[in-house]
Amino acid sequence: MNRSQPQHFKNRLQTPIQYVKGVGPKRAKLFEKKGILTVEDGLYFLPRCYEDRRHLKKISELRAGGKETGFGEILLSGTAFYQNKKKRVFEVVVGDGSGTITLKWFRGNERYLKERFKKGQRMIFSGEVRWFNYQKEIHHPDMEIVEGDIEEDYINFKRIVPIYSETEGLYQRTLRRLLKSIVDGYSDELTSPIPEEIVERQDLIDFSEAFRRVHFPPDGESIEKLNLQRSDGHRRIIFDEFFFLELGLALKKRGVALETGISFRTQGTLSQRLLNQLSFQLTLAQERALAEIVEDMEKPHPMNRLIQGDVGSGKTIVALLASLRVVECGYQAAIMAPTEVLAEQHYLTIHRWVEPLGVGVALLTSNIKGSEREEIYDRIRRGEVQIVIGTHAVIQEQVEFHRLGLAIIDEQHKFGVVQRGLLKKKGGNPDVLVMTATPIPRTLAMTIYGDLDISLIDEMPPGRMPVETRVFPESARNRVYRIVEEEVKKGRQVFIVYPLVEESEKLDLMDATQMAEHLQKDVFPGFRIGLLHGRMKSDEKEAIMGEFKEKAIHILVATTVIEVGIDIPNASVMVVEHAERFGLSQLHQLRGRIGRGQYPSKCVLLAQYRSSEEAKVRLRAMEQTNDGFKIAEQDLELRGPGEFFGIRQSGLPDFRVAHLIRDTSILIEARKEAFRLVQGDPDMEKPSHSALKDVLKKRWKGRLELATIG
């Protein structure tokens, strides 16, 4: 369609952004960089913060220590040099007759900054004011060049002004002008079918009014609430997003409750035989979780339950005991793990435990090929394999189960709801058990796993010692080696871990291999050093781990292969090389490999201090706490919920505005209302709820597997 054609769009909100007055094809390309393709996308492109320009201060009135907004003329701009001319800083000096202030950029495109700021231009600037050498300055300010008369510029001055996320070629004044045009021309088209009684009960403002207020706040709004995204307008938009997420989850949960499942009633003889042969007893938390699972499994509809427990809390044994109940009833269990390494670890542990009981176990990963794979498929189909452990390979089309009764999914946030659905379809409505070692605050677990019941294993097996964690710089390497030597001389064992990053797998693998040789030859010639990495065959890994367990190996040099499922009570030191390259949850998982015996344990994080500020925050968090929940909350703050949960892959609707951490209180209210609505109208049959169904289908885009909503 070219620009001269009449633009009639059935749904005006779906009007391509280029047809908004003043946009056109060139600017539409710039908007596209921000993910804005339609008018509706534009309306949801909310300001990232706000400036109070109702009363602009003079430069002499700006106070150090707080965020201030000022206005003046550029007197000077260019590059300054500090620290013996080693450090380049771009500076702009602004004056207004009452005083001057220096704006500084320590990083950024110098050529672009030089072109952007010219002597004599008027500019508005905002940021934290500080003192340096008796001069006021702001580092990396928000700013914009001012043209025309301030008194007549009602969008950019004399009001609370929205500040948007920019892209080169789309600056604040242009963005504001175009978004004002979109808000004025299209916001009335925005509607939300949330029932009036919920709107009144929650004291929510009109939906389209919320967008008008958030983009261009009226004079009486609180600047503090706006900047915290706590204004009435923000709350209305966030509630709407959460409500449709929770409505979908409420219907999913009800859909599962309506399905006919398998009732696994058994004496639990097999699981009791396993418990009798184990060298440990279940903790009270494990027993409680198992009792909840057994109660669910005996019901005539499918179980949908999450086991949440910190590293080393013993989720695997609970899941295995549930599997054995299924096997005893003549059915099969499948365990799906996100990586080959984790699948192999589960296999090594489980087949040792259950094969003496006469239970057949098979490992299925993409590494297993040809006739061996075909033979495993055949044994699964005939029911000779009662427990299948694998990666995504378990849900491949060729895999046919004889009678799948239980699907166990480990580290669910690394899989999507879709994969969960595919595994479920392999059987006649099997029970589903999801495990995660990623501790998640309960309210967030209710969101991500909103269609699941939750069991918490919140107790560690007896004898687990707290692990002392310390960060060392590269310069302290010899001290680290002394710690290792002292522990081995005491009869303890040590892990030394190297990062294995998939993109440069070969490079890191060489590091682990070469370091094992170097440590054996040059650093610890008197100790026996073993090497373990993901490229080894299963039997090689099993042999190395067997030797380490038997104490024939003193120091195990490994990649993140050892992140999960390894239990060596005699290991008391974990050294993590390049610790700055690991995520918080991964460091916490690695640390969970030690402190399993009666000996005090140390986790040493060797870091290169070229590391980023965020990496330093991560490492400090590791030093300060062993608590998985605190670690997870810190990780959530650092990475944001999208990356932490892999929401993009999880099959849940994306949030445009709502934030799982910041908006927890709104989430809880939205969940309460959504579940109450489904309880009152389980099949969404009321005429007043038909519009809700339409929005629900659009938001979930086919990811909601429910016959019950049409």
> How many whole angstroms separate alpha carbon 91 and alpha carbon 89?
6
Q: Is the pLDDT of residue 554 over 90?
A: yes
Write down which residue in 427, 457, 487 finishes a domain. 457
Q: Which of 379, 389, 382 is nearest to 351 (CA)?
A: 389
**In this structure, is residue 473 part of a structural domain?**
yes
Share of the chain above pLDDT 90, in %: 38
SS3 state of residue 269: helix
Q: Which of 499, 522, 527, 524 is nearest to 512 (CA)?
A: 499
User: Which residues lie closer than 8 Å to 89 by C-beta, 6 or more apart?
Assistant: 79, 80, 81, 82, 104, 105, 106
**In this structure, is residue 374 part of a structural domain?**
yes
Average pLDDT, the chain: 83
H or E segment to which residue 122 belongs: strand 122-132
Which neighbouring-strand residues pair with 531? 557
pLDDT score recorded for residue 502: 41
Give all strands of the β-sheet with 453-457 in edge-to-edge order.
361-364, 387-390, 332-336, 404-410, 431-436, 304-309, 453-457
**Mean of the pLDDT values across residues 423-439?**
77
> What are the pLDDT digits (tens) for 344-359?
878 888 998 999 999 9
The phi, psi pair for 514, rounded to 5°, reads -65, -40
**Mean of the pLDDT values across residues 667-685?**
90
| Domain match, 480 and 406 both | no
Q: Is the pLDDT of residue 451 over 70?
A: no
Question: What is the distance in angstroms between the CA of the first residue and the CA of the last residue of the chain?
Answer: 35
* Low-confidence winner among 59-68, 419-428, 432-441, 585-594 (lowest mean pLDDT): 419-428
3-state secondary structure 644-705: HHCHHHHCCCCCCCCCCCCCHHHHHHHHHHHHHHHHHCCCCCCHHHHHHHHHHHHHHCCCCC
**In this structure, is residue 20 part of a structural domain?**
no
pLDDT score recorded for residue 702: 53
Q: Is the pLDDT of residue 301 over 60?
A: yes
| Domain match, 400 and 423 both | yes
Q: Is the pLDDT of residue 650 over 60?
A: no
Quick one: pLDDT band at residue 198, thresholds 50, 70, 90? very high
* Low-confidence winner among 38-52, 258-272, 423-437, 481-495 (lowest mean pLDDT): 423-437
> What are the pLDDT digits (tens) for 16-62?
999 998 898 999 999 998 889 999 999 999 999 898 888 788 999 99
Q: Which of 618, 643, 640, 644 is nearest to 631 (CA)?
A: 618
Distances (CA, A) of 540 to 29, 129, 421, 454, 545: 54, 61, 35, 38, 9
| Between 663 and 453, residue with greater pLDDT | 663
Which neighbouring-strand residues pair with 161? 51
pLDDT score recorded for residue 442: 60
Write down which residue in 595, 625, 655 finishes a domain. 625
**Mean of the pLDDT values across residues 303-308?**
86
Four-point Cα dihedral 642, 195, 668, 682, nearest 10 = -90
> What are the pLDDT digits (tens) for 471-480?
998 889 999 9
pLDDT score recorded for residue 636: 66
CA atoms within 13 Å, Cβ hemisphere of 472: 21
| Domain match, 422 and 273 both | yes
| Domain match, 415 and 353 both | yes
| Domain match, 453 and 472 both | no
CATH code: domain of residue 114: 2.40.50.140
**In this structure, is residue 523 part of a structural domain?**
yes
CATH code: domain of residue 538: 3.40.50.300
Quick one: pLDDT band at residue 278, thresholds 50, 70, 90? confident
| Domain match, 516 and 559 both | yes
Q: Is the pLDDT of residue 641 over 90?
A: no
| Domain match, 450 and 474 both | no
In this structure, the chain runs to a length of 710
Quick one: pLDDT band at residue 612, thresholds 50, 70, 90? low
pLDDT score recorded for residue 530: 92
**In this structure, is residue 234 part of a structural domain?**
no
Quick one: pLDDT band at residue 169, thresholds 50, 70, 90? confident
> What are the pLDDT digits (tens) for 476-522?
999 999 999 999 999 999 999 987 534 345 554 447 788 888 999 99
Taking the CA atoms of 416, 419, 425 and 426 in sequence, report the sign of the dihedral they define.
negative
The phi, psi pair for 627, rounded to 5°, reads -80, 115
Q: Which of 431, 333, 432, 341 is nearest to 389 (CA)?
A: 333
| Domain match, 472 and 573 both | yes
| Domain match, 380 and 453 both | yes
> What are the pLDDT digits (tens) for 229-256?
999 999 999 999 999 988 888 887 777 6
Q: Which of 483, 440, 507 is nearest to 594 (CA)?
A: 483
Four-point Cα dihedral 38, 43, 48, 52, nearest 10 = 140
pLDDT score recorded for residue 509: 44
CA atoms within 13 Å, Cβ hemisphere of 488: 23
Which neighbouring-strand residues pair with 67? 128
| Domain match, 423 and 488 both | no
Residue with tokens 């990586």, as numbered in its chain = 339
| Domain match, 481 and 449 both | no
- ∠ CA 222-223-229, rounded to 5°: 90
**In this structure, is residue 617 part of a structural domain?**
yes
Q: Is the pLDDT of residue 647 over 60?
A: no
pLDDT score recorded for residue 649: 42
> How many whole angstroms separate alpha carbon 46 and alpha carbon 267?
58
How many Å separate Cα 704 from the centre of its chain? 21
In this structure, the strands spanning 67-82 and 87-95 are: antiparallel
**Mean of the pLDDT values across residues 250-276?**
83
**In this structure, is residue 475 part of a structural domain?**
yes
**Mean of the pLDDT values across residues 316-334?**
94
| Between 167 and 525, residue with greater pLDDT | 525
| Domain match, 598 and 575 both | yes
How many Å separate Cα 226 from the centre of its chain? 26
**In this structure, is residue 391 part of a structural domain?**
yes
**Mean of the pLDDT values across residues 176-180?**
92
Number of domains in the chain: 3
Write down which residue in 625, 651, 674 finishes a domain. 625
- Residue 547 near residue 575, CB atoms below 8 Å: no
**Mean of the pLDDT values across residues 310-319?**
84
Q: State the residue range of the domain holding 408.
A: 269-457
